[in-house]
Structure formats: C-alpha cells, structure tokens
Amino acid sequence: MSLRTVLYEQHLSMGGRMVDFSGWKMPLHYGSQIEEHRGVRKAVGMFDVSHMMIVDLSGPRVRDFMRFLLANDVGTEPRPGRAVYSCMLNEQGGVIDDLIVYDRADDGFRMVVNAATRDKDLAWIDRHAEVWNVTVQARVDLAMIAVQGPEARKCVLQILLERVPSAATLRPFQAAWENDLFISRTGYTGEDGFEIILPEGEAVALWQTLHRIGVPPCGLGARDTLRLEAGMNLYGADMDESHTPLESGLGWTVAWEPPEREFIGRAALEAQRSIGATRELTGLVLEERGMLRNGQRVVCGEKGEGEVTSGSFSPVLGKAIALARLPSAVEGVCQVEIRGKLVRARIVKPPFVRHGQSCLQGEFNQ
C-alpha cells in the first residue's frame, strides 16, 4: 500500500498520472511534463510536496544542537524567519540528506527533509538529540504546497495576504507564519515562488483556490527538469552518503567559520579540503542530439572518467543537460557514452537556467 498525500483525490480529478515515488503515490504530470515546465518558467505552477517531511525541533539548547547537527550554520543569534540550506553529514562527511532549516526564534527550528530519507533522517536526528535534550517532532499533520514562477508571488498573496500580512515583504530565503500557516520564499525551480506549509485539513481548499485563480498543477516530472535546469542537486542521485558536499558541488553550503564550531563530519571534511577533493560535481550540455541519463559513463581524456548523476532534457535550452561527477578541474569538452557511442558534451558551471533565461555563454547562447 502506497502512502497518499491529502491532495491525492485532487490529483486524480485533475488528470494526474500517478506513479510511485519513495513509497508515495504522486503525480508525475497532468498531461504534459514539458508544458508544465514551461508554464512555471513563464508564469506559475503549483506542486504538491506534502510527501516531504517537516520536522520541528525545540528545547533550551536547540540552537546549539542545530549548529552541531548541520554543516551550514544557523548562527548564534536568532534571526526569525531565516531559511538556511544545509547538508546533514555523517562522521565521514557523507551526505545523509540535504534540507532547508527555518529559524523560528523562540519556537525553535523547522526542517524540511526529503521523503525518501525520512526514516533514516529521523533515526539520526533522534539519536543525537537525546544528549541535547531537544524535542523532535515529525509534523505528519501538515501538508506542503509549492507555488513557483514569476507570477507565484502575486497569486499566493492574493489568497493568503490577509492571513499572513508579513508575507508581502518576504525576501528570498525568508519565511513568515501565523499559527500553523507557514509561508516561505523558497523553492526548487530556479524561479521566484513560495512554499506553503499548512494543516492537512486546509490543504485541499488552498489547492482548489489556487487552481481557480489560474495556477495549473504540476507533477514531479516538471519539478525534476526545473531543478536540474536550475542546477540544484537531487538527493540519492547527485549526492549520497558515500560522497561529501565537496564532491557534490555543495562546498558553498559548508560553514567553515567560526573554526571552533564543531559539527558532525567537520574533521573528515577538513581533511579532504586540505588535500583537495579528487572528484567534483559539474554540469554537462550535450553538443549533439541525444539524451543524457543517470549512470552514463563520461570520458574526460587522460584526466580519467566520471558519471552522469542526473541527466534529462532542458525544455528551455532544447538540449540534453546533466549534472555529472567528474575528476576535479576538468574543463572544456568530454564525451558521454550513449548506447555504446561516445558523444561530445561541454562542461559548464551550473545553473543552466535562472529566472527563465539561459545561463550558458558563447556558442550556446540562443
């Protein structure tokens, strides 16, 4: 029996093509993944992301605990509403999960973690929280809807401004809330937008109201191509426990300062940093026709070989794009093995697309 979000019936009635995703029945698309993708780049779309797990943490020492648990730093002083993207590492520096953590000031912290990793995440957090006397609460009573695209802000404020007036002035990576209605200016698409966390009992009404004012539903398919164009990693594909953030394009999320902050995995990361990581995550754009897929072999001349970790098609660029783990410091072109043939690809620095526009330079500019 698969898990269903509170919006399951809505997906069926809107023509959602339901697939299994980490134990959940979720919509892949509602007719055309590419149209949904383009809709978010040009205007707006909404995603049911209630399968992701929301974890609330509280207690007198919760701030110190977060600074120990996560590789990024929530800071020593409260900054209510601030969102921080971070990896949660094991002792070897491997990525247990990537997550967003919200500073809720006197109410502690809220983390949003991946659906596929919820059980191991909770076990890991619980194991360490005990010593710090931190209370860990999995908020299975909450649902989550992401509204993304250049018109997302206008659409969400039209509906929710009265209930959360401070949402009008949110900057990117900030959140505001009134009781259990929580609005953050975050997302996974490379566009402006909001993620809305609310009680399950209110989710259907919000979904229907958004739909009524013209926000089309989008599935996990478009979510994946949007995040890939935006150069954002997917847990389990582009990062996992056998690779560190430095090998996963996420060195920027590790807060090395202050040096006296001890966090899980720090020693292993510092050791790797001092000798230099031998592999890194980078972007690929296929120069010829074809598709890039997870697991394809990448040949980088005498520098060695690597592997595509996330490959797909970019609807904005009209080309196959990928994230790939390659030998460090390779640049220029490489070759990807596609059905036994080697096909040229250009090595680029992600993102591929931001705010609807290509980020590629030179010959790729269209």
Partner 1 sequence: MSNVPEELLYTKTHEWVRQNEDGTVTVGITDHAQDLLGDMVYVELPEPGNSLAVGDECMVVESVKAASDIYCPLSGEVVEVNIALADTPELINQDPYGEGWLFTLQPAEGGEREELMEADAYQELIESES
- State the residues that interact with partner 1 by CB under 8 A: 17, 28-29, 32-34, 221, 225, 289-291, 293, 312-313, 320, 339
Q: How far is the CB of 261 from partner 1 (least distance, A)?
A: 42
Q: How far is the CB of 332 from partner 1 (least distance, A)?
A: 24
Q: Which is nearer to partner 1, 29 or 227 (CB)?
A: 29
Q: What is the DSSP string of 143-171?
A: EEEEEESTTHHHHHHHHHTTT-GGGGGPP
Strand pairing category for 135-138 and 142-148:
unpaired
Q: Which is nearer to partner 1, 31 or 165 (CB)?
A: 31
Q: Which is nearer to partner 1, 232 or 255 (CB)?
A: 232
Q: How far is the CB of 313 from partner 1 (least distance, A)?
A: 4
Q: What is the DSSP string of 228-296?
A: HHTT---BTTTB-TTS-GGGTT-GGG----STT---TTHHHHHHHHHH--SEEEEEEEESSSS---TT-
Helix, strand, coil % over all residues of the chain, rounded to 5: 30, 35, 40
Q: Which is nearer to partner 1, 34 or 205 (CB)?
A: 34
Q: Which is nearer to partner 1, 29 or 153 (CB)?
A: 29
Q: How far is the CB of 291 from partner 1 (least distance, A)?
A: 5
Q: Which is nearer to partner 1, 258 or 340 (CB)?
A: 340
Strand pairing category for 83-89 and 95-103:
antiparallel
Q: How far is the CB of 159 from partner 1 (least distance, A)?
A: 30
Buried b (16+ CB within 10 A) or exposed e, 136-152: bebbeebbbbbbbbbbb
Q: How far is the CB of 32 from partner 1 (least distance, A)?
A: 6
Structure token digits, residue 102: 């919200």
